[in-house]
Structure 1
Amino acid sequence: MDLKKIKSLIQIISDSNIDEIRIKIDNTEIYMKNKTFIKNEKRSCYPTKVYSSSSISDFSDRFYKTGKENENQYLTIKSPMIGTFYRKPHPDQEPFVKIGDDIKIGTKVCVIETMKLFNDIESEVNGKLVKVMVEDASPVDYDQPLFLLDPIKS
């Protein structure tokens, strides 16, 4: 492995949420630990809910009716991954969707950047966009609500 590849790998690990990695190629073995990530990591002492693999793999679980009184008729589009949320394809361009837009199944609603990869997020439901739940260019967690949609009755 040449020095450029090693430096590139170090940069990728430093910029990510990976806390450690071991790579073995031929006779070269590299082990790296991301101390920055570990130092800033906050551990929770509260119990967490355990989900079965069937509920996690069910793609439709990302859309549910919210429990809030004034928002209980809306559908929620949730983040399918951890990353950075972007409403626009480029900072000087218009957002993919705006409040009041009619969203159809397959409409690109945002992009989530994860480890320098930009992932298109498409709607799995039809509806009218009512609220954007996340600020542009802010971090999002898996299953975090991104958009509220008023369902379109068919």
Structure 2
Amino acid sequence: MSMDIKQIQDLIKFVAKSGVNEVAIEEKDFKITIKTNQEPTYVTASIPAAAPVIPQQAAVSAPIAAPTPTVDTATAKSADDSSKYIAIKSPMIGTFYRSASPDKPSYVNVGDEVKPGQVVCIVEAMKLFNEIETEISGKIVKVLVDNAQPVEYDQPLFLVDPS
């Protein structure tokens, strides 16, 4: 795999808009890592010396705007009074979906009872739709993410009352 500068620029724009912190692509003769969690943000691409490319151009660095972090005040306020609840967290970075498709009902809603192994949502990452199953049983008390919103690894998605 080799990428031209236009593809790299498109990837940088996509990563900046998606809200993910880091994307790394590594092939036999090509490696690119894009990080957006520091300021200024840099993109580095390195190609091993054995690869048939232009010599003396091993790395490309380009500053891009870092996404502005957003603070969900509702989640912050409810953190202290929700200590008895258990969070179902995202196992990956991607886009959160409450249902299999826009015309289907949500997998779970507030008030629903869940049990281990039950699908509660989908997290789409790089066009792969991953069904997320709960490992706990209890009642859904809060959905913490809006449908079609980007989520981070280990980000709480649902609060469950285990009692």
**Same fold, TM exceeding 0.5?**
yes
Distance apart, 1:72 and its partner CA? 1.5
TM-score by length of 1: 0.62
Distance apart, 1:33 and its partner CA? 7.4
DSSP 3-state at the match of 1:69 = helix
DSSP 3-state at the match of 1:68 = helix
The answer to whether the aligner puts 1:23 opposite 2:27 as a matched pair is yes
Name the counterpart of 2:142: 131
DSSP 3-state at the match of 1:120 = strand
The answer to whether the aligner puts 1:111 opposite 2:115 as a matched pair is no
Alpha-carbon separation, structure 2, partners of 1:128 and 1:116: 30
Query: Per-residue CA shift, 1:101-141, capped at 9, x if unaligned?
Result: 10001110000011111111000000101000000000011
Alpha-carbon separation, structure 2, partners of 1:142 and 1:33: 17
Distance apart, 1:42 and its partner CA? 5.3
Alpha-carbon separation, structure 1, partners of 2:66 and 2:136: 35
Name the counterpart of 1:99: 110
Name the counterpart of 2:54: none
The answer to whether the aligner puts 1:86 opposite 2:94 as a matched pair is no
1:89 to 1:32, Cα distance in 2 relative to 1, 3 A: same
DSSP 3-state at the match of 2:81 = helix
Alpha-carbon separation, structure 1, partners of 2:100 and 2:137: 22
Name the counterpart of 1:150: 161
Alpha-carbon separation, structure 2, partners of 1:20 and 1:73: 37
Aligned residues: 120
Structure 2, unaligned runs of 5 or more: 37-41, 44-63, 70-77
Aligned AA for 1:113?
E
Name the counterpart of 1:69: 80
Alpha-carbon separation, structure 2, partners of 1:151 and 1:33: 40
Alpha-carbon separation, structure 1, partners of 2:68 and 2:152: 15
Alpha-carbon separation, structure 1, partners of 2:162 and 2:142: 13
Q: Which has the higher helix share?
A: 1
Alpha-carbon separation, structure 2, partners of 1:129 and 1:119: 20
Aligned AA for 1:94?
P
Aligned sequence identity (%): 44
Query: Per-residue CA shift, 1:31-74, capped at 9, x if unaligned?
Result: 6677x994244599xxxxxxxxxxxxxxxxxxxxxx83321211
